[in-house]
């Protein structure tokens, strides 16, 4: 993407050039049935809304706090309540496949389940 230059004139000073490089990444999110079931099963409405807002940020290119957990799977970490986690894989620059979710207390089992789901998906 080409850089955009802006010129700011400060009093009678010479022109100062600033370059800005914009990253307009947008992601398409695909959800597995397991992820949809997990999200639908969260009883607390505020939590569901907050997790949905996180996914909206991802759609706009902001992955936020993430950490790889192995086999190409990463977790999106939300630091509220019990420490919510959403597991995903990224395919290229435009598609994120949501595999599952959980919280900090079930993290090991949730990662294992996400890896199992990924194996059943095969080639995407």
pLDDT band at 12 (very low <50, low <70, confident <90, very high): low
pLDDT-derived band at 92 (thresholds 50, 70, 90) equals confident
Residues 115, 73: contact at Cβ < 8 Å? Answer: yes
Q: What is the pLDDT of residue 7?
A: 47
Angle between helices 45-59 and 33-40 (to 10 degrees): 140
Whether pTM exceeds 0.85: no
Q: Report pLDDT digits (tens) over 46-83.
A: 999 999 999 999 998 899 999 999 999 999 999 998 99
Q: Total domain count for the chain?
A: 1
Query: What pLDDT score does 24 carry?
Result: 58
Cα–Cα dist 103/83, whole Å: 5
Residue with tokens 């990444």: 25
The CATH number given to whatever domain includes residue 42 is: 3.30.2310.20
Q: Could you tell me the two tokens for 101? A: 């979710």
Provide the residue range defining the domain that includes 69.
25-121
Is 117 among the domain residues? yes
């Amino acid at each position: 993407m080409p850089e955009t230059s802006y010129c700011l004139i400060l009093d009678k000073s010479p022109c100062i050039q600033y370059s800005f490089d914009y990253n307009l990444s947008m992601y398409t999110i695909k959800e597995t049935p397991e992820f949809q079931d997990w999200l639908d099963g969260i009883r607390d409405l505020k939590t569901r809304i907050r997790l949905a807002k996180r996914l909206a940020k991802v759609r706009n290119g902001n992955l936020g706090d993430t950490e790889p957990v192995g086999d190409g799977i990463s977790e999106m970490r939300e630091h509220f309540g019990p420490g919510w986690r959403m597991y995903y894989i990224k395919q290229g620059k435009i598609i994120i496949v949501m595999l599952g979710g959980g919280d900090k207390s079930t993290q090991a089992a949730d990662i294992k389940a996400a890896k199992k789901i990924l194996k059943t998906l095969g080639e995407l």
